[in-house]
Structure formats: C-alpha cells, structure tokens
Structure 1
Amino acid sequence: MDKDKKIGKSEVLIIIPAYNESGNIVRVVDEIRNKYSEYDYIVVNDGSLDQTRKVCHANHIHILDLPVNVGLTGAVRAGMRYANYHDYKYAIQLDGDGQHKPEYIKTMLKAMIELNADIIIGSRFKTQRKPITARMIGSQLITYAIFITTRGKYIGDVTSGMRLFNRKMIKRFGYQLNYRPEPDTLAYLINSGIKIEEVQVDMRERVEGESYLDVINSFKYMTHVLINILITQWFRNR
C-alpha cells in the first residue's frame, strides 16, 4: 500500500491476528467500528483455511491477507511492519476471537504514558488472583520463572495476548527475529532493559471456535516456554 493510503488519522493501530476466525471476526471488528472508531485497525488473516478472508471482504473489513499460515509470531510481525510503515505511534494486539475488550485501550494508553512503559499488558490478574486450574498452575510457573530470571519482576498474566506497544517496540517486533509475542520473550525483554507493566482488564469467553491449547498442547507449550525462560533466553542476541 502507498503511504498516503493510511486507513485513518489515529495514533493507535489495533492489530487483530486471525486464523480461522470466520465466526468471530465480524463481531470483533464491528465493535471497534461502531464504538471505538477513534482507533484504526487491521485484521491480519494468517492463511486461514475457513472463510475468514471471504467474510472480511464481504463486510468491507480492512485486511492484510497472508497467503499461507505463518503462525502468531509471523502474523503479529506483519501487523507491526504495517504499523511502522504507516507511522503509528502505538500498536495494540487484540485477539480475533473477541475475548479482548477495546474499552480498555484508553486505560492502557494512559498507563503507558504515565509509567513511561514500552509495553502494557492487559492483565486478568493484576489485582485479581488466578483460579486454581491446571492451565493457571502452568501460567503461575511461568510467572515465577520470569520473576526468578529477572530478579524480581512479577508479570501476573504471562499469556495475555492483549498488549500495547510503543513506537520503539513496533519496530523491534516488526523487524528483529528475537522479538516474539510469547511469554518467554517477556523475560528476555525485561533483561534487555525494556519496561513492561500490567493494567487490570476483564476478558470475555470465546464465543465460537476452540483454542489449540488442549491439555497435551498446553503441557508442551508450558515446557517449551519454561526452557526458553530458564535457559535459551541467555543465548539470544540483545
């Protein structure tokens, strides 16, 4: 796209990675268009195998259409490059399943400015306790691993995909391979001097579709993340 064809005049771009979200994406985007039109948005269709692309075009949704599935990291990277190209000051990632509420963007922006933070996480557990479930126990283990390896930085909601990034982080997540939207990257970033803070938010339950993180995949995911936090991060370029 040409630089003069930027969607709007907002300083904020909402990046919505979407993989097989045909049942959710219209509702997600309509909420933004109808209630939060002060923000720009882009749906990054990550090579969906369902009707996500057709649904987006039929409903005149702004879409960055990736021809193949590149995974969350690749989809977010594409969105960040779009944000950088169009000179957005802030970018926020909202999931395409509708769990994240745009009403909290204003609060997160305020916190970023007041705290001079590079990343603000929309956290379910900033002021509330995690429920005792197998998945939340895994999340807590990751929280403790980050706490230990960063000498005391507590991140309560390590798996939250609702994250606000400043201009510096837009460039880094867009163009540096060591920057991935995963929990292990939080430890790496904090140890690299990046300031990360949390803001309490409320999230919805997924309406349609299913998360790929079933019991087996959740265990594999947690193990992989813990290894990256405890060992691999020390070998990544800073």
Structure 2
Amino acid sequence: MRILIIIPAYNESSSIKELIDNLKKENVDLLVINDGSTDSTSLICRQNNVNVIDLPCNLGIGGAVQTGYKFAFKENYDIAIQVDGDGQHDPKQIRLLIEPIINGHADMVIGSRYIVKRGFQSTLIRRIGIKYFSRLIYVLTKRKITDPTSGFRACNRKVITVFANVYYPADYPEPESIVHLLRTNHKVQEVPVEMIERQGGISSIRAFRSIYYMVKVSFAILIDGLRGKKFYEVDQL
C-alpha cells in the first residue's frame, strides 16, 4: 500500500529536522506543506530531501492539510497520515494508526491521548475544549470520541477523496471533519497513543482564542448538520 505522511508546518524550523529524521525510519513517503513560514522550515526540508509544497500565503491548518490530501488523491495514495510539524506525534506509533485501515475496520483512525492517559495530556484550557467537543460530538452523532482535536490521524482512499474533493473545513478542522465523516456513514475509530509536549513553534490555538475557537467550530458543525448528507452527494456529482 502506498502511504503518505502529510506534515502541515508553520515556522517549525526548531523541530522539523528531528521529526523528518524520525519519520524517514518508518519507510513511508513524506510531504511537508509549508504554510507561509517566515523562518527556514522549507529550506531545512529541502536540504533533507523531503518534498515540500510552499503555499503562497498562510492558509491556516485547514487549507494546509487539504493541500496534502489533494496531493495524496492526485498521486493515488492508499493511506494518508497527518502528523504535526511540532514534534508532538511519535512516528513509532504510526503503525497503530494504519492497522485498522489495512484490516478494513476503519476509514479514519484518530490517535487519542485520552484512552490510556499516558504521555503529554495538553494544557488545561485545551483539555476543557477537548471535553466540550467530545460531548458535542456525542450529542450530535451518539459516538464517543475522546480526543476530537487530535491532529494525529490516518485516512483511507475513500476519506482522502472526500477531503480532497468534497469537503474539508478551512479553520480548526479536526472536530468538524469527524462529525462530517460520522454523518456520512464513514467508519471512524480511535487508538491509544502517547504524545510529547510541543518541541517548538507556537500553537494555533492560544488561550485568548480558545472561546472564539469553540464558538466558531460549534457553529460550523451545526451548519454542516443542516446541510445534510444529500448536499454533499449532489455536490460531488
């Protein structure tokens, strides 16, 4: 199976080299989406023979990741795995993500730090947001997702096609994309992983933006629900 690692990166020069070195040990293809970085992120990747797409401006995490999915779709990859560029995701755990997909048990697999609760558990403010979105997703879909903001995710070809051509949220896409997949009858599964504290860079979700983040994503999820499954089926045609 052809497997692509998608790494969205914005000013991650302090952590990207070590991440690349560790990912190369996993024997998969790498693609860095340089989201308008002003530091040497792109240069470091090129010096280490990693494919890079340099976006002309900062699109945010949603636009950067969807660029990776469009590349994965165009190049006929079977599995795409999202790994953050800040070093929080352990490449050794990639096998845990792809196993349910290879076995046909899941369309998307999320690496959750809250199943066994080992490793870095995130900041207090972010944990509050995670619990809120977990509850909201349960209310809307009757499915418990313990780590809905996790960016450590793997998708099969079917989900790659959806994210590349049909629908992918522009801002803070993780919770919203989960709800969309569940509403359109895709199989979403979580596996336990351990995460590491951010090795560099600055989080896109900072304290003063947390309320804005929660409100915006909540409205986006509700609007997506009002559109319904048929809206996306017609749009795809």
SS in 2 for 1:182: helix
Give the AA of the match of 1:71: G
Contact 1:119 1:197 in 2 (8 A): yes
Aligned to 2:34: 45
Structural mapping, 1:46-125, within 5 Å: 46-114=35-103, 116-125=105-114
Cα distance in 2 for residues equivalent to 1:197 and 1:135: 22
Cα distance in 1 for residues equivalent to 2:23 and 2:168: 31
Cα distance in 1 for residues equivalent to 2:220 and 2:101: 27
Shift of 1:232: 1.3
Give the AA of the match of 1:77: Q
Unaligned runs of 5+ in 1: 1-9
Give the AA of the match of 1:183: P
Shift of 1:178: 4.5
Contact 1:90 1:165 in 2 (8 A): yes
Alignment RMSD (CA, Å): 2.0
State the aligned residue count. 225
Give the AA of the match of 2:158: K
When the two structures are superposed, what TM-score results if normalisation uses the length of structure 1?
0.87
1:182 aligns with 2:174: yes
Aligned to 1:233: 224
Unaligned runs of 5+ in 2: 233-237
Cα distance in 1 for residues equivalent to 2:103 and 2:93: 15
Task: Give the counterpart of 2:156 among 162, 166, 173.
Answer: 166
Aligned to 1:14: 5
Quick one: percent identity of the two aligned structures?
39
Shift of 1:207: 1.5
Aligned to 1:156: 146
Cα distance in 2 for residues equivalent to 1:64 and 1:139: 30
Contact 1:122 1:199 in 2 (8 A): yes
Shift of 1:115: 5.5
Cα distance in 1 for residues equivalent to 2:95 and 2:131: 28
When the two structures are superposed, what TM-score results if normalisation uses the length of structure 2?
0.88
Task: Give the counterpart of 1:221 among 189, 206, 213.
Answer: 213
Aligned to 1:195: 187
Contact 1:172 1:179 in 2 (8 A): no
Structure 1 runs (4+) greater than 4 angstroms displaced: 129-132
Contact 1:118 1:168 in 2 (8 A): yes
SS in 1 for 2:57: coil
SS in 2 for 1:155: coil
Aligned to 1:135: 126
